[in-house]
């Protein structure tokens, strides 16, 4: 296939094996694949996807294709692409992919533009870069757009900002906000894979170390929980009083980052915010501290400030840059400040992406099935879809649950009955 830009088609066989391996852990998506192959609810629909190019995303692309769609894929981060997966999608599934691990910013956007040259009628984003490009550079595509979906918190924040500025010109479903997405993917997925990325990158023991988590949202909760499980002393820093309170009652020490920085062996950001680890913190961080980010963009740690402060930089391991400062301290930045779980490991475990991507497929079908185009708003995933994904996942896990009796249903919808 010539309409693609990947690193090496020769990696395809390895990629295909890993994609199949991941699918074994994705029973909900497997079930959907069979269902949509019979019904073809997306027949003829061109879908432009800007997602992390991982084994799980490959299975999402296969499911869209089984549903009759024509997906085209680029990366949602320059460092998260798995080149063997990109090759397998091109060689075996004939899906155009434009993504090369380590691509420059220029190529990152060139690849987004290549996807848009396929004139998609639906966008599927992780971080809202594709939809932003449509709105700013390719407004000619907007009349033909049925809608879009968005995978992550940062993307949903950007979309809501577009709505506030009256800039959003087609409907989008916030897949991130489905309960079967962020309760599990952001918490357990980011929790496990962030620790995985840190350990693969450094092989440093966590037990007994001081581990600071910046941001106690869905991702931060998972990271803190898993770091604690490794025996680290976990500190949480927050700006939201409710979440700070929750972290305190979950058993973590809570303090400003300006206090935590000087005592931390690890500082990990998961805020979706800019320069949360700033120059003032870098000035007091202790020698040998490992700095990592799991938020969507590479802006959470002020890397330009770190570079300006450093007198020397070397790369002792493939995902580690060690900066030596003029006072002799060495700070270790993982994965260039990009999301460490995808850049230094493989991203979330497949079993959790199973639910996230089932929501993507069902949301795409929901958009395509609307009799007329929905309004230019950010929509929640319909509750029925969320419930269906939870039920399918439980069934796949072999877990059965109770159901309400008629008397209980009546009791729960009445108000007259009080104390018995």
Ligand X SMILES: NC(=O)c1ccc[n+]([C@@H]2O[C@H](COP(=O)([O-])OP(=O)(O)OC[C@H]3O[C@@H](n4cnc5c(N)ncnc54)[C@H](O)[C@@H]3O)[C@@H](O)[C@H]2O)c1
- Residues at the site binding ligand X, with contacts judged by CB under 6 A: 152-154, 182, 186, 190, 214-220, 237-240, 243, 270-273, 276, 294-296, 339, 341-342
Q: Between residues 114 and 345, which has the closer beta carbon with respect to ligand X?
A: 345
**CB proximity list for 399: less than 8 A, separation 6 or greater:** none
Residue with tokens 């930045």: 333
Considering the complex, what minimum distance in angstroms separates the CB of residue 320 from ligand X?
18
Q: Between residues 237 and 359, which has the closer beta carbon with respect to ligand X?
A: 237
Residues 313-329 as b or e (16 or more Cβ within 10 Å = b): eeeeeebbbbbbbeeeb
Q: Between residues 63 and 153, which has the closer beta carbon with respect to ligand X?
A: 153
Considering the complex, what minimum distance in angstroms separates the CB of residue 149 from ligand X?
14
Count the alpha carbons within 13 Å of 121 in the hemisphere toward its beta carbon: 14
Q: Which residue is nearest to ligand X (CB)?
A: 217
Considering the complex, what minimum distance in angstroms separates the CB of residue 186 from ligand X?
4
Considering the complex, what minimum distance in angstroms separates the CB of residue 224 from ligand X?
11
Q: Are 247 and 214 in contact (CB under 8 A)?
A: no
Q: Between residues 18 and 348, which has the closer beta carbon with respect to ligand X?
A: 348
Distance CA 152, CA 139 (A): 23
Q: Between residues 65 and 338, which has the closer beta carbon with respect to ligand X?
A: 338
Considering the complex, what minimum distance in angstroms separates the CB of residue 39 from ligand X?
30
Distance CA 320, CA 44 (A): 44
Considering the complex, what minimum distance in angstroms separates the CB of residue 181 from ligand X?
9
Say if strands 320-325 and 330-334 run parallel, antiparallel, or are unpaired.
antiparallel
Q: Between residues 41 and 220, which has the closer beta carbon with respect to ligand X?
A: 220
Considering the complex, what minimum distance in angstroms separates the CB of residue 33 from ligand X?
23
Distance CA 74, CA 96 (A): 9
| Token pair in block for residue 64 | 């869209």
Distance CA 12, CA 10 (A): 5
Q: Between residues 65 and 296, which has the closer beta carbon with respect to ligand X?
A: 296
Considering the complex, what minimum distance in angstroms separates the CB of residue 158 from ligand X?
10
Q: Which long-range contacts (CB under 8 A, 24 or more apart) does 178-182 make?
A: 178/359, 178/380, 178/381, 178/385, 178/386, 178/389, 179/386, 179/390, 180/355, 180/356, 180/358, 180/359, 180/386, 180/389, 180/390, 180/393, 181/151, 181/355, 181/356, 181/359, 181/381, 182/153, 182/218
Q: Between residues 190 and 319, which has the closer beta carbon with respect to ligand X?
A: 190
């Amino acid at each position: 296939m010539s309409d693609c830009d990947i690193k090496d088609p020769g990696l395809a066989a390895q990629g295909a094996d890993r994609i199949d391996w991941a699918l074994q852990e994705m029973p909900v998506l497997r079930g959907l694949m069979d269902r949509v192959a019979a019904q073809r609810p997306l027949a003829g629909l061109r879908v432009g996807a800007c997602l992390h190019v991982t084994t799980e995303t490959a299975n999402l692309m296969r499911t869209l294709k089984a549903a009759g769609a024509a997906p085209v894929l680029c990366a949602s981060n320059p460092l998260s692409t798995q080149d063997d997966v990109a090759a397998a999608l091109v060689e075996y599934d004939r899906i155009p992919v434009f993504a090369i691990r380590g691509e420059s910013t220029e190529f990152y956007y060139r690849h987004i533009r290549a996807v848009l040259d396929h004139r998609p009628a639906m966008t599927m984003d992780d971080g809202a870069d594709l939809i932003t490009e449509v709105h700013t550079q390719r407004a000619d595509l907007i009349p033909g757009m049925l809608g879009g979906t968005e995978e992550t918190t940062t993307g949903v924040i950007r979309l809501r900002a577009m709505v506030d500025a009256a800039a959003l010109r087609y409907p989008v479903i916030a897949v991130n906000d489905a309960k079967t997405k962020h309760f599990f993917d952001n918490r357990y997925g980011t929790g496990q894979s962030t620790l995985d990325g840190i350990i693969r990158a450094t092989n440093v023991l966590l037990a007994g170390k001081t581990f600071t988590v910046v941001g106690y949202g869905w991702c931060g909760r998972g990271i803190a929980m898993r770091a604690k499980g490794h025996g680290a002393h976990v500190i949480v820093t927050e700006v939201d009083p409710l979440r700070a309170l929750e972290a305190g009652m979950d058993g973590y020490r809570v303090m400003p980052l300006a206090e935590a920085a000087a005592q931390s062996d690890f500082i990990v950001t998961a805020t979706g915010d800019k320069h949360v680890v700033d120059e003032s913190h870098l000035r007091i961080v202790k020698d040998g501290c490992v700095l990592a980010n799991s938020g969507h963009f590479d802006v959470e740690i002020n890397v330009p400030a770190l570079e300006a402060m450093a007198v020397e930089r070397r790369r002792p391991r493939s995902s580690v840059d060690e900066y030596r400062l003029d006072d002799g301290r060495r700070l270790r930045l993982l994965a260039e400040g990009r999301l460490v779980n995808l850049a230094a490991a493989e991203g979330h475990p497949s079993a959790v992406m199973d639910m996230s991507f089932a929501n993507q497929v069902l949301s795409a079908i929901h958009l395509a099935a609307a009799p007329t185009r929905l309004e230019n708003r950010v929509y929640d995933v319909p509750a029925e879809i969320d419930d269906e994904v939870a039920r399918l996942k439980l069934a796949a896990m072999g877990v059965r649950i109770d159901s309400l009796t008629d008397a209980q249903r009546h009791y729960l919808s009445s108000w007259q009955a009080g104390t018995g």
